[in-house]
Amino acid sequence: MPRRRPLLILTLALLPAWAQADEPGPERQAQLIRMVRQDCGSCHGIQLTGGLGPELTQARMLDIRFDSLLATIYNGRPGTPMPGWKSMISEADATWIARQLQAGFPLESGKTR
């Protein structure tokens, strides 16, 4: 059993890197920010403060379970105007967007509100 301890320590040390391995790079993040501001903003408001769709502000997004938010972005909401974006983005992209919404969506690449 003592031989497995270094492997366990190494695994735990690398876990944060694995968790972010699928995170979009800076160029893709900039594309996603533009997409959310333009495409999502057409219903949720350019400042994401609401419109046809509800507001996507940090305060509102923190009230929504992460898995539910992710599912809504990726699969949409049947019976509502909210489309699923899975034909346009990867699940990793959708995860990044959901995290950014709960953190306070950036105004542009590298900048937050």
4-31 pLDDT tens trace: 555 445 444 544 444 455 789 999 999 9
- On whether residue 97 sits in a domain, the answer given is yes
pLDDT for the residue 106: 84
pLDDT at 112: 46
| More confidently predicted of 106 and 93 | 93
Judge whether 89 lies within some domain. yes
Report pLDDT for 22.
Answer: 78
Question: What residue numbers bound the domain in which 52 lies?
Answer: 25-103
> How far, in Å, are 31, 33, 71 from residue 24 at the CA level?
10, 11, 18
pLDDT of residue 19: 46
pLDDT tens, position by position, 25-54: 999 999 999 999 999 999 999 999 999 999
2 domain residue, yes or no: no
Residue-wise pLDDT tens digits, 51-75: 999 999 999 999 999 999 999 999 9
Q: Can you tell me the distance from the alpha carbon of 98 to that of 105, in angstroms, rounded to the nearest whole number? A: 9
112 located within any domain:
no
Whether residue 110 lies inside any domain: the answer is no
Residue 69 sits in a domain of what CATH number? 1.10.760.10
Q: Concatenated DSSP letters for 60-88?
A: HHHTS-HHHHHHHHHH--TTSS----TTT
Look at the chain and report how many structural domains it folds into. Answer: 1
Whole-number pLDDT of residue 85: 97
What span, in angstroms and rounded, lies between the C-alpha atoms of 45 and 25?
Answer: 26
* Average pLDDT over every residue of 76-87: 96
pLDDT at 4: 54
